Amino acid sequence: RLIVNFVLCLICFIAYSSQIFIIWPWYGGVLSVELLTLLLPFNVLVLILLWNYWLCVVTDPGRVPDSWKPDTHMDGYEVKKLTGGPRYCRMCQNYKPPRTHHCRDCNRCVLRMDHHCPWINNCIGHFNHGHFIRFLFYVDLSCSYHIAMVTRRVFSSMNGHYWDEPSSSELVMIILNYVACVPVLVVVGGFSLYHFYSLMANTTTIEGWEKDKAATMVRRGQVREIKFPYDLGARRNIESILGSRPLFWCWPSRTPGNGLRYELS
């Protein structure tokens, strides 16, 4: 929870210190249409970012029902490699639905587990994966807008007019905002590219590791090449997480399905 509060403080510092101590003095502390045109889109992005972050934190990623058992007469249930029987969690004393894994941090099985994220103090699973993808997307957009906004202020001070020169406190805040925002954009941006690629391939982080391991075994001739069963094509892969209506992909919404069964390719 300390980490979650740290993330919230970091977001709020980047979002609001830039407006209060850099942009507002730049416009002379006077509310104007030009100022609102600049700041309103930024604040909308920040608001949706915080909303998706909150949903990532509080949404249960998905629990296995106590009485759940796999239907061994239908396609799509996963088996243990050694025994050929349905996957079973000895820690939870329950069967595992497809794509489910046990999280040691949460001490339970998570539906369609992607990974445990300490930055949200929660697992990324079936029911909050869409919120996590949207959170990354809005972090990238907000940070890019922030850097462009602050950089515009810096360039305006280089035109030679004394009234545009930033004060000492403004200069300190400009430096602090760059120090806080640029590393976030670089790190989260790289992280986002990986997860956007995984979204289009309908692959979780754990399944990505398994696919890499399987590809290595294929190259060594240890196993035959196996097709990943959940890749439905880029459009349908995205729809399986963000919903079937593209206009609402960027809006917080519930992930389709119940997390116990998935369509096969």
DSSP states along 44-107:
HHHHHHHHHHHHHHHS------TT----TTSTT--B-TTT-SBPEETTTTEEPPTT-EEETTTT
Residue 192 token pair: 């986002």
pLDDT at 218: 84
pLDDT at 79: 79
β-pair type (115-117, 94-95): unpaired
pLDDT at 74: 74
Residue 202 token pair: 């309908």
* SS3 at position 135: helix
Cα angle value 129/131/135 (rounded, 5°): 115
pLDDT at 213: 87
pLDDT at 161: 60
pLDDT at 162: 57
Per-domain residue ranges of the chain = 7-60+125-248
Task: Determine the Cα–Cα distance for residues 151 and 170; give it in Å rounded to an integer.
Answer: 13
Average confidence (pLDDT) per 10 residues, the chain, 265 residues: 94 96 90 94 97 97 91 76 83 92 95 95 96 97 97 84 75 96 97 96 93 85 83 95 94 92 90
Instruction: Please say if 117 is a catalytic residue.
Output: yes
Task: Determine the Cα–Cα distance for residues 171 and 14; give it in Å rounded to an integer.
Answer: 15
Of the residues 12, 89, 106, 117, only one is catalytic, namely 117
H/E stretch holding 229: none
Exposed, middle or buried by CB within 10 Å (0-12, 13-18, 19+), for 70?
buried
Instruction: Answer for the pair 44, 172: CB distance below 8 angstroms, yes or no.
Output: no
- What's the whole-model pTM score? 0.92
* Helix ranges restricted to H, the chain: 2-12, 18, 24-26, 33-58, 129-156, 168-201, 205-219, 234-242
